[in-house]
Structure 1
Amino acid sequence: MKVILSFDTEFSIGGAFNNSLSKPKSHEIFEPQGEPSHVGFRDVLNVLKQNSVRSTFFIEALQTHYFSKNEMGKYIDMLVKQQHDIQLHCHPCWEHFSKPNWKEDLATPPKDYYEGRSLAEIVNSLQFALKAFEQWGIPKPTAFRAGNLMVSTTLYKALKQCDIGLASNIGLPYFLPKEKELQIENCVKNIDGIIELPITSFTSFAGRKKVLTITGCSTQETCSVLKDCYAQGVEYVVILTHVHEFTKGKKRNRVNLTRLNDLCELVNENKEYCFTSFGDLSVNDLTETANLDSIKSNWLAGAITIIENQLNDRLSFY
């Protein structure tokens, strides 16, 4: 069973759409103690390096409507140096900053999804994002993830036009697409010529549906989900996390860093699992599989997650 550890890698609007005095945040999100510190982004890279794990980083590229290419570029340089997989992530709300008088045009907050846009509009948005990859001097992405996992069939048609053949846009417990053909779980699916690998989803404690994330699952629950995926013949497990989830204020989020390290060790030490990345996959080698909505974690693992997350949220020193 192949495990893909994926990081959505993005800066923050920083409340700029709600308060004209606020500004988007870049390096403060990734390195809250400042560049010399290893708290934040470099912590994540250190854990991956220590465990010899190559991960996929979905880089938000539309933020170049506001930030210069160098803001994210320095982090991309670190990823390239450690040979991680770099793919495309887009939050359309960043396009609002292309307006010269964006502060005066906030009566209606910008929409952070592509739904309602024409095919041509989405293609233009993606092409702008792809130019950022050219400016960063890295290869054209082969995989895409939509911001907020908010997806429509029109987006897949746009990806096809932009020659991006892989996607990981769907996580039903997080966002339920309107189109029935997009309501899929734990499978490999061809959608309008694009191969979709949804983020792994499962049923947790008390029947709650969840996507498999670092911040939302204890080590015990992640282990339980992986075991059930393997038992039920899931070929690809996709785990979601975000770079900013490994800090709490200006401190390390020790719970999430421990979970990340535990996951790396778990997969590396289990002969039935192995890590891969979206960049290592070829659409020609991926075969469609049946939708599978029966993955579960055991009740005790789910209960541990709830207790652990409550403590982590409420106690700064935990």
Structure 2
Amino acid sequence: MSDRTRVYITVDVECAEERMGEGRVKPPIGYDVRVWGRLVNQREPLGIERIMRELEACGLRGTFYMEALGARYFGVSKLREICTALRSRGHDVQLHMHPVQRVADFMSRGESRAPDDIAAYTEAEQVALLMEGRSLLAEAGVPESEIVSYRAGNFGASNAIWGAMKQAGIALSSNYNPCYFSKNCRMRLNEPALGLFRSPESGVWELPITNFTELRGGYRHLQISAVSVGETIKCLRRYRALGVREVTLVTHSFEFFFLDEPERRRGRPNQINLERLRGLCRYLQQHADEFEVDTVGALGQRLLRGEETARPVRGAYPRLGPLPYARRLAEQALKRVAQRVSFK
């Protein structure tokens, strides 16, 4: 086995259900806008097509966690178009679910909102959801044998997800995220595990979202829209120095553009997030002797064949210095200003 640190660039791909805003119900946002980023005032799509191009320019491949249940509302044919495009270009498609999107127009129907965190369901219900999601991906052209990993919407899983996944025949979870402990993630360990580990209850593998300790306390995960390039690179180097074999980053299909007017399909690129993605890809390309960009699907297949084992590093999450943190604060402030300025 190579001594390079494996890096997993994961993209959560999803539509949006009805939401309240500006004193009214805002309609669902489907695949064309929320996933592809096909906007009437832009010459090129700004969503997954742009993400694929940035990865491919540096010879990299990503794992796209594709939300499946929304196909009940937004259409399986539209889901198939996305899965086909991703797989035809060598990218990895795995299972993501937001149960609320099965009936994305629930407010207009006068129905109650379904729980969106999978931890809110019984274990039997979780198994049924996992099997439904996998079946929908298969209907959209992803071979069931390739669907080896699952990520919960909102990272909203508990430890019970491991048992449910075992029953559903999905071997590799990517849900454990300390950054979301105060939000949706209910998964807990007696001792933190940095990198791939095997769940004590079921034997299902867990590929955790990479976190670091904030200067002011708490955790921050490696989400491209939430950290600076400097922080990401420093975290990569810290994890490598600690001997952690896997680093997992996350982003979303809609994080690389501002959606000014969803109903009129108007928006513009989010340049700061694009530069972060580009900077990360170039760094990984230039340091290929130390870091290997892998896909979660490939990892899952190796684990199932017994070609790889989990060797997590136990201990505290690393703390990064003040300079990358200061840059992040400045960038986030600039993004907030840019978001408020709508160019119509």
TM-score normalised over the length of structure 1: 0.91
Q: Which moved more, 1:175-184 or 1:36-45?
A: 175-184
> Aligned to 1:293, which of 302, 309, 316?
316
Deviation per CA, 1:118-160, whole angstroms, max 9, x where unpaired?
2221111111111111211112210110111111122211111
Give the Å deviation of 1:68. 0.8
Q: Secondary structure at the match of 2:26?
A: coil
Instruction: Check if 1:260 corresponds to 2:277.
Output: yes
Segments of 5+ residues of structure 2 without an aligned counterpart are 260-266
Match for 2:251 among 219, 227, 241? 241
Deviations 1:90-144 (A, max 9, x none): 1122244598x972223xx332112242222111111111111121111221011
| Closer/same/farther in 2, CA of residues 124 and 5 from structure 1, 3 Å limit | same
Alignment correspondent of 2:169: 163
Q: Identify which of 80, 84, 92 aligns with 1:85.
A: 92
Equivalent of residue 215 in structure 1, options 211, 219, 225: 225
Letter of the 1:119 counterpart: E
CA RMSD in angstroms, aligned pairs only: 2.5
Instruction: Report which stretch shifted further, 26-35 or 134-143.
Output: 26-35
Q: Residues of 2 paired with 1:98 and 1:190: CA distance?
A: 38
- Structure 2 counterpart SS, 1:39: coil
Structure 2 letter corresponding to 1:188 = L
Aligned-partner residue type, residue 131 of structure 2: Q
Q: How does 1:50-129 map to 2 (within 5 A)?
A: 50-96=57-103, 103-106=109-112, 109-129=113-133
Q: Tell me which amino acid in the other structure corresponds to 1:312.
A: K
Distance 1:252 1:182 in 2: 42
Give how far 1:245 is off: 0.2
**2:7, 2:293 within 8 Å by CA — same for their partners in 1?**
yes
Deviation at 1:22, TM superposition (A): 3.5
| Cα contact 1:206–1:299 (8 A) shared by 2 | no
Q: CA deviation at 1:71?
A: 2.1
Work out which of the residue numbers 197, 202, 206 in structure 1 matches 2:216.
206
Q: 2: distance between equivalents of 1:167 and 1:70?
A: 27
User: Cα offset for 1:208?
Assistant: 4.4
Q: Is the 8 A contact 1:159 1:194 kept in 2?
A: yes
Aligned position for 2:298: 280
Map of 1:126-145 to 2, 5 A cutoff?
126-140=130-144, 141-145=147-151
Runs of 4+ more than 4 Å apart: 16-21, 96-99, 176-179
CA contact 1:40–1:252 (8 Å) conserved in 2: no
Partner of 1:302: 325
The one-letter amino acid of 1:256's match is N
* The 10-residue stretch of structure 1 (20-29 or 297-306) with the greater mean CA deviation from structure 2: 20-29
The separation in 1 between residues aligned to 2:174 and 2:269, in whole angstroms, is: 28
1:224 aligns with 2:234: yes
The corresponding residue for 1:29 is 34
CA distance 1:253–1:183, shift in 2 (3 Å): farther
Taking the aligned partners of 1:182 and 1:71, their CA distance within structure 2 comes to 42
Amino acid across the alignment from 1:37: E
Match of 1:172 in 2: 178
Which SS does the other structure have where 1:222 is aligned? helix
- Structure 2 Cα separation of the partners of residues 58 and 260 of structure 1: 17
Residues 172 and 185 in structure 1, CA contact (< 8 A), matched pair in contact too: no
Q: How many residues align?
A: 315
Task: Give yes or no for contact 1:171–1:185 (8 Å, CA) kept in 2.
Answer: no
Matched, 1:251 2:268: yes
Q: Tell me, yes or no, if the aligned pair for 2:80 and 2:141 is still in contact at 8 Å.
A: no
1:122, 1:158 within 8 Å by CA — same for their partners in 2? Answer: yes
Give deviations 1:204-245, integer Å, cap 9, x for gaps.
343342001100111111111111111111110000110100
